[in-house]
Amino acid sequence: MTPESNFEALGLNLPPAPKPLGVYKPYLIVDNRWVYVSGHGTVQEDGSLIIGRIGQDLDVEEGKLAARQVGLAILSTLKTNLGSLNRIKRVIKVLGMVNGTTDFERHPYVINGCSELFAKVWGEENGIGVRSAVGMGTLPDNIPVEIEAMFELEEN
């Protein structure tokens, strides 16, 4: 099984690859070996964003689904710019930022929405990297989750 076939088997759809809303690159290849992906938000198939604070506007399960949606946006950026998810060898690092209420404490559970998606696409050995899951006072446009990631490319 390849990452592309694994993704297809999930029956999920990719949103459009998000365009930068500031002065940054959505992704950057370094030394033809590493792909860094800038922070992505909750872009849906229609281009709209999932909005709201977890613990106030969204419950923890809706937050986890929002994190999966961010994972889909990251996959869209990778596929759009690399041509195929098969070009990625493994997930190296995920940084998940959660827009939760001050008493919300389940940040890692929310970010599992993205991590579980990556594990299904690249398998547990290559789809699970190191990770941080942290709470933020706010996130841009009041999105519930923002995630950035680093990947290793397949050798040519």
Contact 116, 6 (CB under 8 A): no
Contact 52, 142 (CB under 8 A): yes
Cα separation, 77 vs 131, in Å, equals 20
Query: Is the confidence at residue 1, as pLDDT, over 80?
Result: yes
Tokens of 94: 């995920």
**Beta strand ranges found along the chain (DSSP E):** 27-30, 34-40, 88-99, 130-136, 145-153
User: Exposure string (b/e) for 33-67, b if CB count within 10 Å is 16 or more?
Assistant: eebbbbbbbbbeeeeebbbbbbbeebebebbbbbb
Query: Is the confidence at residue 120, as pLDDT, over 80?
Result: yes
Tokens of 68: 């999966």
**What number is the average pLDDT over the span 35-43?**
98
Contact residues for 5 (Cβ-Cβ < 8 A; gap 6+): none
Q: Which CA distances in Å does 45 have to 1, 5, 67, 88, 109? A: 26, 20, 14, 23, 24
**What number is the average pLDDT over the span 135-148?**
97
Model pLDDT for residues 83-92, shown as the tens digit of each residue:
999 999 999 9
Q: Nearest CA to 95 among 143, 36, 10?
A: 36
Cα separation, 151 vs 89, in Å, equals 7
**What number is the average pLDDT over the span 111-124?**
98
pLDDT value at residue 21: 84
Query: Is the confidence at residue 156, as pLDDT, over 90?
Result: no
